[in-house]
Structures are given as C-alpha cells and as structure tokens.
Structure 1
C-alpha cells in the first residue's frame, strides 16, 4: 500500500474553522482529566465488571442446575450470550462517538442493573424456574416453560445491553483523559490489570457464593457491585473531560463512499488545489501530518475530495456534504479499511478461547475439584486462572519485559509484535488443553476397565486445567492490550470509541463462530456427545491448534504489509512504518 510523499502546506486557520473543530478537539484544551480520574474510572469499572462477570461466569452451571439444560446445550447458550455481550459494545461505541461517553455509560449502567435484578428473581422466585431435578441435565428433568425462558432471556438481554454500553466505552473514556500516547498506553495496561482482577473476583467470590450459599445471594452481590459502579462513576463527573461530537463519525465516513461513487467518472488529479482540504483552505489534521493530497492507496475514494463547481459555498464551506468531503475524511476511511485485515486475524484467535471456556467448565465437572479435605473449587471459578494469569502477566510485561526489551533491542515492543506473541501462546494453550484432555480420557477409561482387585482409579485432579488456562492467560496479556493500543492509535480520532470496541467485536464474532464450530463438530463427528466421557474433546483442541497455526501465518502476512499511520511518540504524530513482527 504505497502512499504519496507528503507535501507541506502552510496556511492560517480561520477562526471559523477552529470553532467548527472545537467539538472534536475540546479534549486537548480542557484542564480536566489526567491521572486524578484514573481511581474513579477504575473503581467504577471494577464494580460494573464484577457485576457482569459474576452472572456470566457461572451461567453454564446455573442453566444446568436450575433450568435443567443439557451440558452441551448450556455451553451453546453461554457462547451465544457471551457473543451478545461482546458484540453490543460496537453499538454502544457508535452511540458514544455521536453522543459522548458519559451519557452512554450512565444509561447502560442502569440497564445492566435492571437485568441483574431480573436474574436474581429467576433464582429466588420458584415460579420463574422449572422444578428441581436430582439428575441434572438429563432428559428426565422437566424443562422450563416458555414464560420462564422468556423471563430468563429478557434478564440476560438487559444485562448484556448494559455491558455493551459500558465495557469498551469506559476504556475509551479513560484514554480520552490523557494527551500523550505514552500516558494512554500506561493507562490501558493498568486498566486491563484492574479489569482482569474484577473478572477474577466475579469468577471466585460470586461463584463460591452461588455454589455454597445460594444463587440469590450471588446475584445480590452483582446488584450491589453494579450500584457501587454507578455511584462512583457519577460522583466523579466534575473531574472528567467530556469530548462531544457534532456529527456522527460514521456519517462522515458514509459521505466519503457516496461522494466517491457519485464522482466515479471524474479523472483523478495530482494537484493539491484540486482537492478540498477543509473550511478556510486547510485541514488541521493534515496540516500537522504534512499531507496536502490524498494518499495513493484506495485511489477510488480520492474522488470524494475532488472539488467541483457548486460543491462549496461563497465562503468555501461545503455546500453539498454528500458530494464533497475533506481529504481528512477520505484518509480516515482508508485508515479503517487498512486495519480490517489485521482485525480479521484475531477472529480465529478469539474462537478457540471461546470454545475452550465452555468446554473447560464441562470438563472440570467431570474431574476431582477438591483442594484438601474440606474445599472444592466451583466449576465456574476455573476460568479465574486465565484471568489472574493475564493480570499478573500484564504487570510483569509492563514492569520487567518491556524495559528489558528496550534495553536489548533499542526500541519499544510494537503493538503488532505484542499481538503476534499472543497468537503463539494461544496455539500452545490449545495444544496443552488437548494433552490434558487426552490424559483425562485415559483415566476415565481406566475407571471403566477397573483394576484386577476391582478397585476404581481416582478421578483426575481438575488442577491439571490450570496449566493450559494459564498459558491462554499469558497470551491474552499480550494480544488484548496490544490490540487496544493498536486500534486506539491507528483509528481516526473521531472513532476512538469504536477503535476499542473493535476488540469486543472480534471477541463477539469469535464466540458466535465458536457456537457454529461446536454445532458443526457435533453434526460431522462424534467428538462432542452430551456425556463428554464418551467423546473426544481432545480432538477438538488439536483441531483448534491447527487452525491457530494457519491463522498465525495469515497474521504474519497482514502485519508485514501493514504500515503504521498514527502512532504517536511523545504526543506527536509520526508517519512511519515498522512492520517487524
């Protein structure tokens, strides 16, 4: 993807142009924001994330035990809900890019609270769930009625909508409190540490209460955490920077496509005066970058910025926004298009993780979860090993690996390199999961055969699952923050909320794809029966490891071809290319 050499354009910004861009640059002029907002934003995120992880992490067990759902079906429902909770942040971010983060986060927090309250009612009101069944998940258990499923689905939908409007939007809102890429990257590192700690608490404290005290009490903790998150977030409103946008950034991008199509027969020009730079003859973004003509990549779109008679008014402002766009608008759309191949590589990074999450819970239900004579780890809590591994790894990477890398290599680890390391560890994690499951199946078969003295072999300890889950956590500590950093830096400034939601979107696609993959495997093979002791879950993990290797090759190709456009060093724009991965 070659680009034209930058041509420096020197001009004076008109006061009208500055005022027109004030909505999108207000964050730079504001005296609010900065590190004083970090404890407030982090605390509110902790509360909201604890509430969300508390009900999601134990959903498979809740469906099996309280709604008499079969194990694989419960896994499919879990993957669907997980995909829903990670797809909705896109809608939340689109709304936030138009209305601002603060109102979206506030409204969404109250919606999630309503959803968790309804979930608690399904656990505490007997008429809202089917009768208890001794043989959980079997065909003899009475299924839930249509009304009971309706209430359950509405509660999960509301809670998921709430997550959609808060999870990625809070991350972007926090990043908007800072002026430099270094501060933003440091914030994202610590944000993710706190985020995974909150997920870990939901996977342990809430799940333990669910299993040992009662589902109603577990959901009550989620309600309290949600209320805490809302209260803290609203209490800090006077400290925040509030970036507002006059026009939806997606409308601006759509205008480029429409204008390029309408001018598709016009010949392109190499003269800067033939392109519209902005009101007053100059575009702020491109005066800073040094570009005065569109880049050569995706040349078809350049026609959207070609000036024609009647496109502008007497004062040189745009008269027909669906026929004429600024060069900056054109380049914003190109930036989104360029990064989509890289984004697509992470879909098959998220799919194995989604499949592993559901299958691991089913596996540990068949294993010995005891730790000592008096303690048993809840099945839904095992994912905490991934979360804590991620949080610890992020800390170690930030404090030790990065400084060591800079000392040895003479430069910082790039986002693309960080994501690549995450791909590698995910493949290793899938292979390790396959080996652990193979061992578990061997123990199960030994139990069936028994020994000569008719004694039964002890079930395999579920603690063996810690190894693959921890490896996956190490991979996540590289690729998730790396993707957030990459998208936040490379997306147009007007699409910052959408940039962080891109990570949530690929996780969502991964979860939905994992549901499709599991369904396909069930139809084509005998690897995933209702009783996994009679199946071959290990083959599923080996298949995912193989797909990961192929996807890693695809990623390396995309990363090698990608050129950084907006990476900032010390708060300045740098139009450089660093394709080493």
Structure 2
C-alpha cells in the first residue's frame, strides 16, 4: 500500500472516530505525543469495523506519527538552507568586488572561492570521523559519540559563527571602500579575496555537521516504507530554502528601501550587506533555539 493512501486513511479514520475514546492498555507503553491519532486504530476494536477508512492498523498510525514528529525538524532546515544559499550567491558577488590577484599574473575567478567550502567539508568530515567521534565516544560511552540531532545542532551553531565572520569581513570591506572613496563606485576594493576564506571554511564545517547529519536523520528516522520520502524531504527543504532566500532578499530590500537605504544593491560597495548578515545571525539564533526545543522532545524511531 502506498504511504500517501495509508496516511489519508489514518486522517480520515481519526475524523470519523473523533467521538470515540482511546482505551489505555496497561501492558503497552503510553506515549503522549500525537495521541489524537490513536483514534484511527480503534474503529475495529470498538465496532468490529473492517473499513480501512475507519479502522487502521497500529503500524499505519505509527507511520503517520513518525512523519508528524519529523515535520517540525524539517521546518527548522529552511532557515538553515536560506543562510547556506548565501555562500553561492553573495559570497561569490563579494569576491568579484575584492582583490583577486594571486601573484602578478593570475587572478582568482570569483566562483572558484566555493572550492574552499568543498575542501573544508572534506577535511572536516574526515576529522569528525577520525578524531571527534572516538573522543566523544570515550566521554559518552556510546559508539556514535554524539547523536544525530546533536550533530545537526552543532552545525546550526557553526552557521551562526559563519554569518558573524561574514558580517565582520564585509564591515572591513566597506570601511576600506570608504577610505579609498569607492563607496559609490562599482569597482574592486583593495582587500584580499582570501578574507572570504574564513566564512567559507566555517561553511565547510557546517556541511560536515548539519548537512551530513540532516541526510542521516531523514534517511534513518523515516520508516522503511517511506525511505524515498525521507530523502526527498531533505532535498525539498533545501530547495524551498533557496526559493525562500530570493523572497527574503526581496522583502529585506523593500523594507529597508522604505527606511531610506536598501541594504542589497547591485553595487556591493554601496550596499549594507553586513547588516543583512547580522540579520541572518539573529534569525539563525532563534532557529537554533527552536531546534533545541524540538530536539529535546523528539522521540527516535521505534519501528523497524
């Protein structure tokens, strides 16, 4: 049976059995999360119904519960994805307005700065597996060292750090542009593009924790019958994050434009990109708090 049909049956059965009471079973663990969904499985018990749209199996109910447990976690990925998208957009645009020379005869292509993220990710993943996990395993007494959610949470901390560094680098960029009278001129500012290596390296660490952790979470925590949905959930969250990023930039420009000066212009020397990064720091801080609140209450998958 396709999961989409099964989920619809559970929701319909919950509505049809809304006036029935769930009987407590003394020998069965009593989980308090999404107890309303348990009504989908009591139609057969109470009335001997064989209608799948009125009496669902306990496994069907647990599948929908597991999806409901993961949904809040999925929502926290969107802000993370919005922030991560800046590495491939504004970071590249920043590099085009900086000194890209590497020696007297070679200039670094702006987009190639993204290679720093990839290299940093590879190094960070190796360091995580070979250094952090053994050390954490000795401390916690578990084979994994830290849980999946702790790994994701660490990534969300590092993405805040990445935006703090990016804001400080852009502030330095604007000060140098002002000192050289380039605030209103769309030309390169005499500040090395390698300053952007700092936030890019941290973004690589973010990928080693949050990106890998999210892939593992959505794959391992989804039930076997929904594995393809778990993989799609992670990709969908990243895709929505990229879309929301464009919408978010449009909203920020409209709001700041009404305040007198748009933050994000074609000429970054005139923009206030540093303020935009600080805004992302604040949003990610709230997102981290929401993630911690959800993670502390999350119940790991019990079915196999």
TM-score (norm 1): 0.48
Q: What corresponds to 1:311 in structure 2? A: 49
Q: Give 3-state SS (helix, strand or coil) of 1:421's partner.
A: helix
Partner Cα distance (1:434, 1:468) in 2: 9
Query: Which of 336, 343, 352 is equivalent to 2:67?
Result: 336
SS at match of 2:265: coil
Which of these residues, 475, 482, 490, is aligned with residue 206 of structure 2? 475
* Matched residue SS, 2:301: coil
Look at both structures and tell me which one has the larger radius of gyration over its CA atoms: 1
- Whether contact under 8 Å (1:304, 1:325) holds in the other structure is yes
Q: How does 1:182-331 map to 2 (within 5 A)?
A: 247-270=1-24, 295-306=31-42, 307=44, 309=47, 311-312=49-50, 320-331=51-62
State the shift of 1:488 in Å. Answer: 2.0
> Hey, what's the Cα distance between the residues in 1 that align with 2:113 and 2:290?
31
The residue aligned with 2:283 is 547
Q: CA deviation at 1:407?
A: 1.7
Q: How many residue pairs get matched?
A: 292
Residues in 2 aligned to 1:528 and 1:338: alpha-carbon distance in whole angstroms? 37
Q: What is the aligned partner in structure 2 of residue 223 from structure 1?
A: none
The superposition leaves residues 346-401 of structure 1 with CA deviations (integer Å, 9 ceiling, x where unpaired) of 22111111134211111111112221223222222221211221122111101221
Partner of 2:124: 393
Work out the CA distance in 2 between the residues paired with 1:394 and 1:267.
Answer: 50
Structure 2 CA distance for partners of 1:388 and 1:449, relative to 1, 3 Å: closer
Moved segments of 4+, more than 4 Å: 291-296
Identify if the C-alpha distance between structure 1 residues 293 and 414 changes in structure 2 by more than 3 Å, giving closer, same or farther.
Answer: closer
In 2, the alpha carbon distance for the partners of 1:457 and 1:292 equals: 68
Deviations 1:120-171 (A, max 9, x none): xxxxxxxxxxxxxxxxxxxxxxxxxxxxxxxxxxxxxxxxxxxxxxxxxxxx
Relative distance call for 1:292 and 1:477 in structure 2 (3 A) is: same
Provide the C-alpha distance between the structure 2 equivalents of 1:439 and 1:324, rounded to a whole number of angstroms: 64
Q: Which moved more, 1:517-526 or 1:299-308?
A: 299-308
Q: Are 2:87 and 2:114, in contact at CA under 8 Å, matched by a contact in 1?
A: no
Between the aligned partners of 2:210 and 2:120, the Cα distance in structure 1 is: 14
Query: Structure 2 CA distance, aligned partners of 1:340 and 1:482?
Result: 16
After superposition, the C-alpha distances for 1:212-268 in whole angstroms (9 at most, x for unaligned) are xxxxxxxxxxxxxxxxxxxxxxxxxxxxxxxxxxx2112111111011111212222
Distance, in Å, in 2 between the alignment partners of 1:502 and 1:458 is 41
Q: Which residue of 1 is the match for residue 80 of structure 2?
A: 349
Cα deviation code 1:441-461 (max 9, x no counterpart): 1221222179xxxxx996211
Contact kept? 2:11, 2:40, Cα under 8 Å: yes
The alignment status of 1:531 with 2:262, answered yes or no, reads no
Distance (whole Å) between structure 1 residues aligned to residue 182 and residue 189 of structure 2: 13
**Alpha carbon RMSD of aligned pairs, Å?**
2.3
Instruction: Provide structure 1 residue ranges, at least 5 long, that are not aligned to the other structure.
Output: 1-246, 273-290, 313-319, 451-455, 568-572, 574-581
| 1:515 counterpart = 2:246 | yes
CA distance in structure 2 between the partners assigned to 1:551 and 1:384 by the alignment: 27
The equivalent of 2:158 in structure 1 is 425
> Which stretches in structure 2 are left out of the alignment for 5+ residues?
257-261
